[in-house]
Amino acid sequence: MKICSFLPSATEILFALGLGDSVCGVTFECDHPDEARSKPVVVYSKLPHGLPEKEIDRQVNDYSSQGTSLYRLDADKLRDIQPDLIVTQDLCHVCAASPNDLGAVLSSFVHPPKVLSLTPHNVEEVWSDIQSVGDACDRSNQARQLISGIKRRITELKPNLLSPPRVLCLEWLDPPFVGGHWVPEMVAMAGGIDVLGKAGLPGVPVTWSAIAASDPDVILAMPCGYHREEVEHELAIVPFPAEWYSLRAVRNGQVFAMDASGHFSRPGPRILDGILEMAELFARLGKGRTRKAAARVASVATAGRIQNRR
């Protein structure tokens, strides 16, 4: 079976199900696992590499307003491959190529491939999509085992934080967007409270005044499509406004660069890694807050004893 993947999360699902040898075409962003990098690229971005976030946002809006796709398909390469299955998505036309991008190309195929479109809006639908890929590729049992193992790891977490951290998840920094869909659920599974994101709904732009009013304990920077080292770079160069520096989380050094591409923006098996990373982070921060609270209690008690002696 020859399979072409039009989105990185599908590529990761296919490899996780042992279908790496069947993958014959991927996107320019498919970088996990390492073997995916050696596959022929059939989907490219029309956006130049290395643009600032603000310029990326502007160009994305321009393409959207014109009803033009952000992606270019290599039609000749697709015809050479003659895939049996193409896995794409219809969730976000900014994130990856969609079925609409395929129409003109597939019309030239003598035997058009089957097209499987993934459209998860929440964590459970991410697992359902893994099963759908498995069912389409004769890997139903492997998919069930993979999903079962992921769910077991999440169940074993059992976060028990006395004071769950209030978390702001930024899926874009300039201008600011908050993460939606499965991200708020991931935060909850890890033991936190997402202050602005809405589970099952898309990420949305927010004002800096709304961010300031949310007063998060922790800020997780996870701009879509960026790996951790790239996020760290963005945090250093984005021209944040005064409201950013007034945030308690910023003043307390509780801003963390996350591997957005690996653990958050790709709805595949590795969102488990994002949940586990957040759980560890929240637990560590919780211990720090507990020690500070204990120190304050001890300080007050000591002050009371001194006052009584007087």
Question: Residues, the chain, total?
Answer: 310
3-121 and 161-290 have identical folds: yes
Q: Which CATH number is associated with domain 3-121?
A: 3.40.50.1980
Q: Taking a C-beta distance cutoff of 8 angstroms, is the pair 201, 181 a contact?
A: yes
The pLDDT value given to residue 308: 45
Q: Which of 13, 242, 244, 255 is nearest to 150 (CA)?
A: 13
The pLDDT value given to residue 62: 87
Beta bridge pairs of residue 257: 221
Q: Taking a C-beta distance cutoff of 8 angstroms, is the pair 225, 261 a contact?
A: yes
Average pLDDT of 155-172? 91
Q: Domain spans of the chain?
A: 3-121, 161-290
Q: Give this prediction's pTM.
A: 0.88
Q: What confidence tens digit (pLDDT) does each residue in 39-48 have?
A: 999 999 888 8
Q: What confidence tens digit (pLDDT) does each residue in 175-231 have?
A: 999 999 999 999 999 999 999 999 999 999 999 999 999 999 999 999 999 999 999
Q: What is the 3-state secondary structure (H, E, C) of 115-144?
A: EEEECCCCHHHHHHHHHHHHHHCCCHHHHH
CATH H superfamily, domain 161-290: Nitrogenase molybdenum iron protein domain (3.40.50.1980)
Residue 110 confidence class, pLDDT cut points 50, 70, 90:
confident
The pLDDT value given to residue 160: 75
Where b means 16+ CB within 10 Å and e means fewer, 141-163 reads ebbeebbeebeeebeebebebee
**What is the percent of the chain where pLDDT is above 70?**
88
Poorest-pLDDT segment among 60-69, 75-84, 146-155: 60-69
